[in-house]
Amino acid sequence: MFGLDDQIAALGAGETLLLVLGVALLLGLRHATDPDHLTAVSTLLAGEREDGGARRAGRLGLVWGAGHATTLLLFGLPIVLFDSYLPDPLQQGAEAAVGAVVVALAVRLLVRWRRGDLRPAHHHPHGPDGAPLRTRSPLQAYGIGLVHGMGGSAGVGVLLLAAIPDHVEGVVALAVFALFTAVSMALASSSFGWVLSRGTVRRAYGAVAPGLAVASLAFGVWYALGAVEAVPYVL
C-alpha cells in the first residue's frame, strides 16, 4: 500500500538472515492495515454480540488471520521456491473473491442492523424474536481468511520475499510474514472489539452501522470490479 512494502523490503536487501526476518515481520504487521483488511475486520466484528469484548474479537481475528496465513503459505511456497505464479485469470478471480467477501460481510451487517440485532445485549439477549443471537463461528472466520489470503496486497509481500536468493531464507521469511500477518490481524480485531464493547460506543453504534455497511458494500463492489479491470484501482 502506497509503496510501504517496497520501502520495508529495501531495508533487508542483501543483508543477514536476522535483518531479512525483521523485514518479513514488519511486512506481516503492516499487511493487516491494508484497506481491504480494515474494511473486512470492521464489518466482521460489527455484527457480533459484545459479550467477551476484546478477548472474543481477538480470538476471532486470530482465526481469521490463521486462515489468511494458511493461504499465504500454500500459494507463497511455490513462488518462493520455484517462481511458479498463478495464471492471471486465477489471480483476478482471487481478487474478485476478496471483494465478494467484503460485500457479503457488509450485507450481513445491514441485515443484522435491520433486524435490530445491533442493540446492546441487555435490550434483547435472545434477539428481537426470542431466538438466540447467532455469532460468527471460528470456522466461518477461518474460511473468510482463506479467501482473503488468495488476493489483496499479500501477493506484493510474497513477491518481495521471493526475491531473496537463498530458498531456505525465503521460506523462513515467508513463514514469519504469514505468522505476523495473523498476529497483526488479531491485534487489530482486539482493538475493534474493545472499542465496540464500550457501552457508549455500542449504544451509538446502531446509528452509524448502516453507513459503515453501505461504505463497506461500495468498497467491496469497487474492489471486485477493479480485480477484473472494470474500474481502476487507485491504491
**CA-to-CA distance for 148 and 41, rounded, in angstroms?**
11
By C-alpha distance, which of 198, 47, 76 is closest to 134?
47
Question: What value does the mean pLDDT take over residues 104-132?
Answer: 66
Express each pLDDT in 130-179 by its tens digit: 444 455 678 888 988 888 777 655 666 676 677 777 888 888 888 888 88
On whether the CB atoms of residues 22 and 152 are closer than 8 A, the answer is no
pLDDT at 90: 79
pLDDT at 217: 92
The pTM of the full predicted model, rounded to 2 decimals, is 0.70
| Torsion sign across C-alpha atoms 175, 180, 158, 189 | positive
Express each pLDDT in 46-88 by its tens digit: 656 555 567 777 888 888 889 888 988 888 888 888 877 777 7
Q: Work out the number of other CB atoms within 10 angstroms of the CB of residue 2.
A: 7
